[in-house]
Chains A and B, each alone.
Chain A
Amino acid sequence: MEQMNAAVSIEDLSFGYKGQPRKNFTHLNLQIKKGDRFGIFGPNGAGKTTLINLMTGLLNYETGSVRLSGYEIKNHKKNVNRLFGFVPQDFSFYHELSPAENLGFFGAWAGLTKQQIQHKITELLEILGLQEVRNKPVHKFSGGMKRRVNLAISVMHEPEILFLDEPTVGVDVQTRHAIINYLKQLNDKGTTLIYTSHQLHEAEDLCENIALIDEGRIIANNSLSSLLNEHRQGGLEGLFLTLTGKEYRD
Chain B
Amino acid sequence: MFKLRATILKDIRILTRDKVGLILMLAMPVLLAIVITSVQNSTFELVNDNKVPLLLYNKDKGPISEELIKALDKIGIFELKKLSGTQTEKDVISRMHAKDALVAIIIPANYSEEVLGKAKRITQDALKNIDVIADTVINPPMKEIPLLLYYHPVLQQSFRNSIDGGLRSALQLVQSRYIVKRLYSSINEHDIPDSLENQITSNQTPVTEIPVSRDGSRNIPNATQHNIPAWTIFAMFFIVISLGSSIVREKLSGSFIRLRTLPTSFMVALASKQITYLLVTLLQAALIFSIGVWLFPKMGLPSLNLPGDKVGLLLVTLACGWCATSFAICIGVFAQTQEQANGFGAVSIVILAAIGGLLVPAFAMPASFRLIMQFSPLHWCLEAYYGLFLEGGKLKDILMNIIPLLIITVILQLIAIYGLKRKNLI
A-side interface residues toward B, CB under 8 Å?
56-58, 60, 78-79, 81-82, 84-86, 88, 90-94, 96-97, 101, 104-106, 108-111, 113-114, 137, 153-154
Contact = CB atoms under 8 A, between A and B. Distances in A.
A205 B320 CA distance: 59
Contact of A108 (B7, B13, B257): B7
Interface of B: 2-3, 5-7, 9-10, 13-14, 17-18, 253-255, 257-264, 268, 424
Contacts of A106: 258, 262
Contact of A58 (B2, B10, B260): B260
19 contacts: A58-B260, A81-B262, A84-B261, A90-B253, A90-B254, A92-B257, A93-B258, A96-B13, A96-B14, A96-B18, A105-B7, A108-B3, A108-B6, A108-B264, A109-B7, A109-B259, A109-B263, A111-B3, A111-B263
- Of all A-B residue pairs in the complex, the 7 with the closest CB atoms, nearest first, are A92-B254, A108-B6, A90-B254, A81-B263, A92-B258, A109-B262, A105-B10
A227 to B, nearest CB: 30
A105 B6 contact: yes
Contacts of B268: 109
Nearest to B268: A109
A96 B263 CA distance: 23
Contacts, number: 78
B154 to A, nearest CB: 49
Nearest to B6: A108
A56 B258 contact: no
Nearest to B264: A109
A108 to B, nearest CB: 4
A22 B353 CA distance: 48
A58 B257 contact: yes
B5 to A, nearest CB: 8
Contacts of B259: 109
B263 A78 contact: yes
Contacts of B18: 96
A179 to B, nearest CB: 17
Nearest to B3: A108
A182 to B, nearest CB: 19
B175 to A, nearest CB: 75
Contact of B254 (A57, A84, A93, A114): A93
A124 to B, nearest CB: 15
A168 to B, nearest CB: 16
A109 B14 CA distance: 17
A168 B7 CA distance: 29
B254 A110 contact: no
Contacts of A91: 254
A171 to B, nearest CB: 16
A94 B13 CA distance: 10
Contacts of B255: 92-94
Nearest to A58: B260
Given A108-B2, A109-B6, A96 B264 contact: no
Contacts of B253: 90, 92
B6 A104 contact: yes
Contacts of B262: 81, 106, 109-111
Contact of B261 (A56, A90, A94, A113): A56
Nearest to A59: B424
A113 B3 CA distance: 9
Contacts of A111: 3, 262-264
A111 B263 CA distance: 7
A163 B413 CA distance: 35
B248 to A, nearest CB: 15
A114 B6 CA distance: 10
Contacts of A85: 261
Interface centre among A82, A94, A154 (most CB of B within 10 A): A94
Contacts of B260: 57-58
Contacts of A79: 263
B258 A153 contact: yes
A106 B257 CA distance: 12
Nearest to A56: B261
A221 B5 CA distance: 46
Contact of A101 (B3, B5, B13, B257): B13
Contacts of A113: 2
Nearest to A165: B257
Contacts of B254: 88, 90-93
B3 A90 contact: no
Contacts of A56: 261
